[in-house]
Every structure is written in C-alpha cells, then in structure tokens.
C-alpha cells in the first residue's frame, strides 16, 4: 500500500506540538485555580488569559473576547456586523471557510485580487470609487491562507486610509503572525488604527488546533455586543482549554513552542520549494516567508481536477485552487507543508510530478 501524503490539511504534525508542555500546563491550571477551571466561567473567556492577550496587544481587557477557536470569533463578528445583502470585500483567493460562512450569511461577497505583497489596493480603490459600499474587508495579512503571501507595510497604510475614507471596518484575520521564519515583521493594522480594525488570532498554530482557543480584539462597544451573542450561543467557551493556554503562555512554553514550529516550517517550506523546482518545473510559486501554505500555479489550461484525481491515485492530497475563489483558479492548487516531514515532502512532490506528467501526456503517448 502506498503511504498517504497529505498536503491538504492546514494543521501541524504531532512532532511539533508540545504535548508535555500542555500536560504540565493542564496540571498547573487544575492545581492553582480549580474553581475557575471547572466553573461555567463567563462569555468573555477565562479572565487571566483575556488579560494576557490584552497586554500583548496593548489594549484594555474590555477590548478582548476569547472564543473556542478563531473560527468562532469570525462567526460572532459576522453575526454582529454582516446582514444579508451587505457587501464584504475578501481577497482572491481567500480562506475557504470564511468564504462559505459569509455566503451562508447572505453577504454580497466581492473578491479583490491578491498579489504577492497583499491585496491589490488599487483595484479595491476602483471598486470603492465606483460606488460599492462595503461593511467589512476581510484581510489575512501574514502568510495568507491559501496563498502564503504577506501584506506590505505600504499597503497596510493605504488599506487603512481607504477604510477610513469609505467608512468600512477591516477584519484583520491573523492566525499565522507568529510563524515568520524569514524577513522582518510588519506592524499589525490593529496597532496602527484601533478604531478601524477588528483583529482575530488563534492559538491553533502556535499551541495546537485541538485546544480550540482563539480571540477577537476590537472597540469595547463592539466586543460588548459580541459578548451578548456569545452568552446566548454557548454561555461561555471552554474554561479548561483557556486556563491551559493561560498557563502555557505565562510559563514561557508558548515562545519555545513558536521557535519549534518556526524551525520545522522553515525547513519544510524550503524542502517543498526545492523539490517543486527540481521535479515540477512548470509550477510557479512565491516562496513563503512564514506560515503553512504555498500557492502553486500551473500553466494556463492545466487541468487541476484531473491532477487531483491522478495525485489521489498515488496517495497524495492537496486542495484545488478553485475552492478558494468564487470562480476560476482552475490551474492552481494549495500545498500545506505544516503536517508533512521533509522526507514526506520529497516523496509527495515526486508523486505529484508523476501525476502531473500523466495528466499532461497526450493519450496517444500513453498507448505507445
């Protein structure tokens, strides 16, 4: 049996999760605060973790709500701000779950092209000048999912200026910010303008996804409104998970975990880039400076549906580019390197290249 190799899942492999650190954080949480850990708690999240997040972002605790994963934070924000028919700007391509969630709410989703240095701000400006009035622009600024691209400092400024002028909120969705393995970090748009931006992040990529802890930072009045939605949705998020994360962060284990994850991702991204350049020279990509993902473009006309099937026959999974757009992207794919070892990447790319040759070789050559 061929060993399956998945470039599909945006999740870490077990070897880069600090299981021991989590076990001892859990032990400390139950020992030091048994009452707080085992009670319902409150819908704003576990207060000590909320305070830790507030301090990290230099905001007041009233500006923070801690949720069961940042997907939950996204859902609360959309419930608070987006009504059916409201225009929401998203990047093209963008995270498939956000796209789905917005469409399920009945939002009028407008995609604006993503470039290697972030959303095409000129194209966005043209859309705004033409009279479109968005409620929200959803932006994944660092190591974007699915493209791996990062928004430049200049574009962050221009985006904020457009948001102020045209009175829409920027939703800065930033779960990968800590995972930079090359170059220098850009300031968050939240730190540049706390009135215009609502910020989300997560411990899924720095601690582990199973812990399900994420958060929102925004104006206190909006967070208060979202807190009411949270109360009526689930009374409170998991105090157990949040107390564990709190201990993990305050003990310094978070910083160690981030270093482990970044070192592994740096090696995996490089292995993937080298293997693609060697085995699949038709693949165009921008080597990411951090995060989990690489966006691969094959020559126009390449049939990624056929490639998907041929790769699956060889035990290799990826996500088709078309899943991240409203239409098009038929010759693109997303490769996640977060859950595969360098050896699996080498082998996976060899099989992918073999599948690609199979889909591009004329039928007559097969018969020969």
Give contact residues for ligand PLP (rule: CB under 6 A).
10, 69-71, 95, 140, 145, 173, 175, 202, 204, 209, 214
Q: Quick one: 211 or 273, whose CB is closer to ligand PLP? A: 211
Q: Quick one: 145 or 238, whose CB is closer to ligand PLP? A: 145
Contacts of 136 (CB under 8 A, 6+ apart): 81, 82, 86, 88, 89, 168, 169, 170, 171
What minimum distance in Å lies between the beta carbon of 341 and ligand PLP? 20
Q: At what angle do helices 253-279 and 19-32 cross, to 10 degrees?
A: 160
Angstrom CA distances, 21 to 24, 97, 251, 256, 262, stand at: 5, 30, 9, 10, 17
Q: Quick one: 207 or 253, whose CB is closer to ligand PLP? A: 207
Alpha helices in 39-120 (DSSP H): 47-56, 69-81, 96-104
What minimum distance in Å lies between the beta carbon of 79 and ligand PLP? 16
The strand pair at 293-297 and 332-336 is best described as antiparallel
Q: Quick one: 148 or 348, whose CB is closer to ligand PLP? A: 148
Contacts of 146 (CB under 8 A, 6+ apart): 93, 94, 95, 96, 293, 295, 319, 321, 324, 334
Q: Quick one: 275 or 336, whose CB is closer to ligand PLP? A: 336
Q: Quick one: 190 or 302, whose CB is closer to ligand PLP? A: 190
Asked whether the beta carbons of 293 and 143 are under 8 A apart, the reply is: yes
Look up residue 74 and give its two tokens: 């996204």
What minimum distance in Å lies between the beta carbon of 208 and ligand PLP? 10
Contacts of 21 (CB under 8 A, 6+ apart): 248, 251, 253, 256, 257
Residue length of the chain: 368
What minimum distance in Å lies between the beta carbon of 165 and ligand PLP? 26
The strand pair at 118-119 and 134-139 is best described as unpaired
What minimum distance in Å lies between the beta carbon of 271 and ligand PLP? 21
What minimum distance in Å lies between the beta carbon of 68 and ligand PLP? 8
What minimum distance in Å lies between the beta carbon of 95 and ligand PLP? 4
Q: Quick one: 70 or 257, whose CB is closer to ligand PLP? A: 70
- Taking the C-alpha atoms of residue 280 and residue 143, their distance in angstroms, rounded to an integer, is 23
What minimum distance in Å lies between the beta carbon of 174 and ligand PLP? 8
- Looking up tokens 């085992």 gives 38
Q: Quick one: 272 or 336, whose CB is closer to ligand PLP? A: 336
What minimum distance in Å lies between the beta carbon of 343 and ligand PLP? 24
Q: Quick one: 43 or 70, whose CB is closer to ligand PLP? A: 70
What minimum distance in Å lies between the beta carbon of 114 and ligand PLP? 12
For the chain, the first-to-last Cα distance in angstroms comes to: 28
Q: Quick one: 45 or 175, whose CB is closer to ligand PLP? A: 175
Contacts of 158 (CB under 8 A, 6+ apart): 121
- Taking the C-alpha atoms of residue 13 and residue 287, their distance in angstroms, rounded to an integer, is 21
Asked whether the beta carbons of 52 and 253 are under 8 A apart, the reply is: no
């Amino acid at each position: 049996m061929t060993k399956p190799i998945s470039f599909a899942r945006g999740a870490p492999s077990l070897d880069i999760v600090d299981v021991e650190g989590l076990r001892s954080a859990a032990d400390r949480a139950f020992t030091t605060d048994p009452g707080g850990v085992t009670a319902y708690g409150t819908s704003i999240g576990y207060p000590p973790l909320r305070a830790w997040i507030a301090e990290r972002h230099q905001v007041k605790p009233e500006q923070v709500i801690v949720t069961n994963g940042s997907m939950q934070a996204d859902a609360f924000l959309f419930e608070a701000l987006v009504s059916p028919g409201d225009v929401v700007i998203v990047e093209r391509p963008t995270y498939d779950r956000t796209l789905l969630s917005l469409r399920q709410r009945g939002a009028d989703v407008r995609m604006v092209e993503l470039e290697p240095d972030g959303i095409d701000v000129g194209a966005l400006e043209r859309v705004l000048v033409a009279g479109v009035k968005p409620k929200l622009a959803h932006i994944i600024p660092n190591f974007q999912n699915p493209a791996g691209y990062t928004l430049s400092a200049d574009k962050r400024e221009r985006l904020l200026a457009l948001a102020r002028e045209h009175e829409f909120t920027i939703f800065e969705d930033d779960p990968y910010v800590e995972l930079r393995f090359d170059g220098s970090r850009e300031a968050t748009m939240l730190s540049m303008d706390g009135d215009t931006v609502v910020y989300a992040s997560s411990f899924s990529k720095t601690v582990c996804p199973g812990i399900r802890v994420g958060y929102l930072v925004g104006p206190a009045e909006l967070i208060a409104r979202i807190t009411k939605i949270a109360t009526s949705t689930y009374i409170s998020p998991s105090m157990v998970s949040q107390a564990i994360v709190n201990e993990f962060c305050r003990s310094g284990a978070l910083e160690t975990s981030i270093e482990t994850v970044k070192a592994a991702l740096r090696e995996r991204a490089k292995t993937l880039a080298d293997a693609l350049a060697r085995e699949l020279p038709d693949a165009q990509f921008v080597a990411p400076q951090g995060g989990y993902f690489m966006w691969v473009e094959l020559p126009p006309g390449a049939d990624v549906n056929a490639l998907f099937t041929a790769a699956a026959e060889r035990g290799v999974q990826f996500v088709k580019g078309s899943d991240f757009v409203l239409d098009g992207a038929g010759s693109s794919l997303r490769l996640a390197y977060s859950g595969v070892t360098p050896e699996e990447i080498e082998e996976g790319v060899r099989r992918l290249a073999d599948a690609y040759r199979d889909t591009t070789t004329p039928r007559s050559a097969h018969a020969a």
